[in-house]
Amino acid sequence: QVQLVQSGAEVKKPGASVKVSCKASGYTFSSYAVHWVRQAPGQRLEWMGWINAGNGNTKYSQKFQGKVTITRDTSANTAYMEVSSLRSEDTAVYYCARFWPLGTAFDIWGQGTMVSVSS
Amino acid sequence: DIQMTQSPSSLSASVGDRVTITCRASQSISNYLNWYQQKPGKAPKLLIYAASSLQSGVPSRFSGSGSGTDFTLTISSLQPEDFATYYCQQSYRTFGPGTKVDIK
């Protein structure tokens, strides 16, 4: 079945970086964009950016420009999202999601990856 | 950036009730409005796309309407499994703050 499976929970110290993976299966990976969304505890969903899995082009929310890097490996059907210079405010669940162009919506979501930042 | 607001922020309703949630955009977004349901500890689930189109597999008790700046999500007869938080989203970008639905 069509699914996105993310890497496991991470605990990091302030100033470190974290890289979360999102492995696609059940569909042609390069035919769809992958977006990243984060949700801090008790907060709303926050769009971070996306990657065209076919050509690798990226676009970031202004808030995350320079803070987040999204990449992909087509041979592994996997997208990655790296957050640098972690602060406690980056503690959140990070989701990847497949963008469905017909509906202009996210039709498939990963299960989420909890990233905790603490000294 | 376009801002999204939702009302109410939370509500309590009984099984069988009709529930309506409102989402407003700070400027016209045509029909580029999606609705998601999120249960605790789970990823969001797409319910409605393009303001009024029901995603495949979603029960018909869910419906959406609106265009421009004002949108609504309606649950025609609330079921126990509908306990969740509902988010609107402008296109692929900004999400609303969410509406938490509690079952009385």
* B76 class by beta-carbon count within 10 Å (0-12 exposed, 13-18 middle, 19+ buried): middle
User: Looking at chain B from residue 24 to 63, which residues have their Cβ under 8 Å from any Cβ of chain A?
Assistant: 32, 34, 36, 38, 42-46, 49-50, 53, 55
Note whether A49 and A60 are within 8 A (CB).
yes
pLDDT score of A20 = 98
Q: Do A47 and B94 touch (CB under 8 A)?
A: yes
Q: Report residue B92's pLDDT band, with 50, 70 and 90 as the boundaries.
A: confident
Q: Which of A62, A94, A106 to mutate to test the interface with B (most CBs of B within 10 A)?
A: A106
Write out pLDDT tens, residues B2-52.
999 999 999 999 999 999 999 999 999 999 999 999 999 999 999 999 999
Strands A113-117 and A10-12: parallel
Instruction: Using an 8 Å CB-CB cutoff, list chain B residues near A35.
Output: 92
- Taking only the tens place, the pLDDT of each residue in A64-90 is 999 999 999 999 999 999 999 999 999
Is residue B99 pLDDT above 90, yes or no? yes
Which parts of B1-104 are beta strand (E)?
4-7, 10-13, 19-25, 33-38, 45-49, 53-54, 62-67, 70-75, 84-90, 99-103
Nearest to A109 among B32, B44, B92 (CB): B44
Closest-CA distance, A17 to chain B, in angstroms, reads 23
Q: How far apart are the first and last CA of chain B?
A: 37
Section A52-68 average pLDDT: 96
- Which residues of chain B does A107 touch, with a Cβ-Cβ cutoff of 8 Å? 46, 49, 55
Res. A63: pLDDT tops 90: yes
Residue B104 in this model has a pLDDT that exceeds 90? no
* Selection from A43, A99, A44, A41 nearest residue A70 by Cα: A99
Which of B2, B92, B94 to probe by mutation at the A interface, max A CB count within 10 Å?
B92
pLDDT value at position B103? 84
| C-beta separation of A1 from B57 below 8 A | no
